[in-house]
Amino acid sequence: MTFIERLDKLLKEKGVNKTTFLQDLNYSKNAYSEWKSGVTKSYMNKIDSIADYFGVSVDYLLCRTENPAVVDDEWLATPIALSAPEGYDALTEEGKKQIQELIKILPKNTQD
């Protein structure tokens, strides 16, 4: 999957057309076409605001992960990356969400 394919998927899921998306973020009318044609990689300096717009991580937009979740807790980022059990990537999105929720509550139980 490419950045443009991921962006199209997010636009569809959010029910937003390209024109509205570009206007909401104050991007030029040609930005999407330029990104799609590969003429420019100008989206790279806008990637944070695009991720924020859709509430997904930059890694998800860049197709580095299938998990759209934004990691809120700094402590959470490294342990998951280092200790994800074998087969985690093969889980459904729902299964991944359940595991992430369990991990989020773990510190609350271990700090007592």
The mean per-residue pLDDT over the stretch 16-43 comes to: 83
Are 96 and 55 in the same domain?
A: no
Q: What angle do CA 61, 49, 47 make, to 5 degrees?
A: 40
* DSSP structure class, residue 97: H
* Residue of 85, 77, 63 lying closest to 5 (CA atoms): 63
Q: What is the CATH number of the domain that holds 18?
A: 1.10.260
* Residue of 52, 51, 29, 31 lying closest to 42 (CA atoms): 31
Are 47 and 80 in the same domain?
A: no
Q: What is the pLDDT of residue 19?
A: 92
Q: What is the pLDDT of residue 84?
A: 59
Residue 67 lies in a domain: no
User: In this predicted structure, which of 1-5, 58-62, 88-92 has the lowest mean pLDDT?
Assistant: 88-92
pLDDT at residue 100 greater than cutoff 50: yes
- Tokens describing residue 28: 């030029």
Q: pLDDT-derived band of residue 16, with 50, 70 and 90 as boundaries? A: very high
Q: What is the pLDDT of residue 29?
A: 87
Residue 68 lies in a domain: no
- State the residue range of the domain holding 38: 3-61
Q: Which amino acid is at 62?
A: L
Are 51 and 94 in the same domain?
A: no
Are 55 and 81 in the same domain?
A: no
Kindly give the interhelix angle for 74-83 and 93-110, rounded to the nearest 10 degrees: 120
Residue 69 lies in a domain: no
Are 57 and 89 in the same domain?
A: no
* CA R_g for the chain: 17
Q: What is the pLDDT of residue 79?
A: 45
Domain count, the chain: 2
The mean per-residue pLDDT over the stretch 11-37 comes to: 89
**Can you tell me whether residue 91 is helix, strand or coil?**
coil
Q: What is the DSSP string of 5-36?
A: HHHHHHHHHHT--HHHHHHHTT--TTHHHHHH
Are 87 and 50 in the same domain?
A: no
Are 24 and 53 in the same domain?
A: yes
> What is the distance of C-alpha 24 from the center of its chain?
18
What does pTM read for this prediction?
0.49
